[in-house]
Amino acid sequence: MKVFITRIIPDAGLQLMKDAGIEIIQWTEKRNLSAEELIDHCKSVDALLSAGGNWIDKAFLTACSHLKVISLHSVGYDRVDVPAATELKIPVGNTPGVLSDATADIAFLLILATSRKAFYMHNTIIEGDWGFFEPTANLGIEIRNKTLGVFGLGKIGFELASRCAAAFHMKIIYHNRDHNERAEKELNAEWVSFEDLLKQSDVLSVNTSLTEETKGKFNKEVFAKMKRTSIFINTARGPIHNEPDLIDALQKGMIWGAGLDVTDPEPMNSNNPLLQMPNVSVLPHIGSATEETRNAMAIIAAENVIAGLKGERLPFPVNPEVWKD
């Protein structure tokens, strides 16, 4: 049995697959495979382990319908046409849970960094512009006792809300399709309508998946309804916010600041005006980038490959319907 892996992943995952007798073919060039190259490489293997970049769309799935499993080295599966994979009975696996802490840490970091203009102030030192002390210059805002609004309170949102409640005594409100009973019980979180989330949040954090419904959700109409003193945080997927509208909202003072670990497009162009704004912090999609988390993701991705190649149910399936008759 052979697996094709689209990036270099941690040894912990590779070793598991080798120990299971799986032959590994790995793409090691530091560029994305083209759609044609991905199909070519997958023609002669039994499994795909996709670690970012490529679209697993209908054209790919139709050309590679022989694959016994597609394992993602991510929790997000917005680049996969899951209904098409299900129709072809190809199980797709992801890596939920293990990256919640690391991603929540990055959201928390962005809240603090933005509220105190930390990235911008760091750059002023590099540019030789520490300057003259002025009591009214470089002022941030404090988040203690303020309200955190979470759009999509799942595992990552829960971890972020726990940190904000414990460290800053923040009130937690959230908007989900369903109630999160654990958050309501343990964090006193309150479900509110989307409109109320916009009106009441001092910090509004996006922690939902990218779907047709959430794509472009944070646009100019939405930013206009947020508090002028609020901070917008996105550590989920860039296309959930409309980036030109976000830039405009910040320039017009519709919101106070923004912290992004995800942008649209990625990578962000280095000329993007967001990078010059004092109240904006941008990171290059490093939510899950810790030794511990990336090892855990590689292990789960490998376990999904191993189970799929044995014809067993994946430990972390995205489309469990494939095992229904």
Interface with ligand DGY by CB under 6 A: which range of 6-14, 72-80, 131-139, 161-169? 72-80
CA distances from 192 to 55, 179, 180, 201, 290 (A): 35, 10, 12, 11, 33
Residue from 41, 285, 294, 303 carrying the catalytic annotation: 285
107 binding ligand DGY? (CB under 6 A): no
Buried-state track 24-62, b at ≥16 Cβ within 10 A, e below 16: beebeeeeebeeeebeebbeebbbbbbbeebebeeebbe
Query: What is the C-alpha to C-alpha distance for residues 179 and 272, in angstroms, rounded to an integer?
Result: 37
Residues 75, 189, 268, 300: which binds ligand DGY (CB under 6 A)? 75
Answer yes or no: 312 catalytic.
no
Q: How far is the CB of 85 from ligand DGY (least distance, A)?
A: 17
- Spatial distance between the Cα atoms of 113 and 90, rounded to a whole number of angstroms: 42
Residue 76 CB, nearest approach to ligand DGY (Å)? 3
Q: How far is the CB of 56 from ligand DGY (least distance, A)?
A: 14
Tell me which residue of 76, 37, 77 sits closest to 60, measured CA to CA: 37
* List 23, 266, 292, 312, catalytic entry: 266
Q: Supply 52's token pair.
A: 């970012």
Nearer residue to ligand DGY within complex by CB, 143 or 210? 210
Q: Which of residues 274-303 bind ligand DGY (CB under 6 A)?
A: 287-288
Residues 286 and 298: their CA atoms lie apart, in Å, by 16
Enumerate binding residues for ligand DGY (CB under 6 A).
Answer: 74-76, 99, 287-288
Show which residues are catalytic.
237, 266, 285
